[in-house]
Structure 1
Amino acid sequence: MSLAQAQCQACTADATKVSEGELSELLREIPHWNIEERDEHKELERVYLFKNFSHALAFTNAVGTIAEEVDHHPALLTEWGKVTVTWWSHKLRGLHRNDFIMAARTDLLAANAEGRK
């Protein structure tokens, strides 16, 4: 089963973060995402390019919709022609498998998004 098809699990403050071994394995499934270290925790981040602000905003709203469906929310920065999406598990202060699932789903949205560069 691909990451995009996997189901997110309820994530509590005592859930297990992704291990270093799991991290490299999961990153193979979402090769365009980067690991960023912020405030002493890891986050997944990717920048998507669009032809204009309208297309970028439509994509931002689509990501917001899938986030609401599973009650797991990314940081979204929408600019003219660009959207930066950052996933991490706030309760864990780090990465959970859910973040990789949502990153894969975000990639699927982007593949079908209008106005991609």
Structure 2
Amino acid sequence: MAELLEESKVAEHLATLPEWSREGAEIVRVYKFSSYMAGIDFVSQVAHVAEEANHHPDMLVGWRKVTVRLSTHSKGGLTKLDFALAKKVDGLVG
């Protein structure tokens, strides 16, 4: 099981993900799309990647945007799992 990261490690990992920001015990990114359905397709892709990783983000679907929030709920904060999944999700949009 992944362990909570120290603040210095969180900062190091976050520096490798320039479009993500930290909000409390989560990392967050808003993805923008050309259409509502493109965002829905993205959510489906994220769901498959998350299921493979057995690590599930919170997602909010809006008009032409999807907000992804990652945290290791069972640990109450950020672990390596969150940053690994963030990179995989970023890879879905190129």
- Normalised TM-score (structure 2): 0.95
Select 1:70's aligned residue among 53, 63, 66: 53
Select 1:103's aligned residue among 65, 86, 92: 86
Q: CA RMSD in A?
A: 0.9
- Normalised TM-score (structure 1): 0.77
Q: Contact 2:71–2:82 at 8 Å: present in 1 too? A: yes
Which residue does the alignment assign to 2:34?
Answer: 51
Q: C-alpha separation between the residues in 2 aligned to 1:110 and 1:86? A: 16
Which residue does the alignment assign to 1:18?
Answer: 5
Which residue does the alignment assign to 2:66?
Answer: 83
Give the structure with higher Rg (CA): 1
Unaligned stretches of 5+ residues in structure 1 = 1-10, 112-117
Higher helix share: 2
How many residues in Structure 1 have an aligned counterpart in Structure 2? Answer: 94
Which residue does the alignment assign to 1:34?
Answer: 21
Q: Percent identical across equivalent pairs?
A: 36
Q: C-alpha separation between the residues in 1 aligned to 2:3 and 2:38? A: 36
Look up the equivalent residue of 2:57 and give its one-letter code.
P
Shift of residue 16, structure 1, vs aligned partner: 2.0
Q: Secondary structure at the match of 2:41?
A: helix
